[in-house]
Structure 1
Amino acid sequence: MASKHLIFAALLVATIATPMAEDATVQLRCGGNVVSTAVTNGSGVFSILLDPLSYLLSAILSNCNAVVTTPLSNCNSLLSPTGVLSAPLQILGSTVSGLLPVTNIITGLFQFLPIV
């Protein structure tokens, strides 16, 4: 499944390019706070739906990241057991679903962040 994403009836869906096991936990973190959590499927795809009345699009794009919190060594034994993958968010485009405008958001590239 290709990455696709919504955010004005607000959904974030992404594929994690790094080889991922299914059931990896992904958090949407905004300003250091966990806003939502999702679990990847067998293809490394996850989706998060947000209430557009609670989150401004500009704030999501500037203050939020997708963070994989499952120990990376669970997904690939060659990866460090300490650290997370984190990715910024960006707009993919907009669509309409029924009567609702939907802003599609994707993750940028995931980067390894060591936990000290």
Structure 2
Amino acid sequence: MSKTLLVAKNVAQGNILADTIKGQAYEVDVVHSVDEAVAIFKREPFDAIVLDVSFEADAKAAVERVRESAAAASEKRTPLIVVTKSFGESSFLLDSGEVDVLLEYPAHVEQLRQVVEQFVGC
């Protein structure tokens, strides 16, 4: 079974996102900080990562830390899907090449499920 890790500081928003992307062919694990994500990468691999940067003070640093930690723990590049409050304010994250998909919350929340399924092979 495929696994997706959802990293969301805001518990309520994280639960909404997790409910949105849960599928029958894959599991969704939820953590509430980048530190928790870094720790879990050391224990198990994931097929996709969803990082909600809406409540992060430094979105770029959060993305870089998650990407580096996931890369160190896996032999393959794990797709990183970032959810943000404003696409316009966070579009610079795509330029870095660290982010595979950038989505705005909540306008494209249904699209998030489809994107995750694309990466986990459902």
Is the TM-score greater than 0.5? no
Q: In which range does the TM-score fall when normalised by the shorter chain?
A: under 0.3
Task: Give TM-score, length-normalised by structure 1.
Answer: 0.27
Task: Give TM-score, length-normalised by structure 2.
Answer: 0.26
Which has the larger share of helix? Answer: 2
Which has the larger share of strand? Answer: 1
Structure of greater Rg = 1
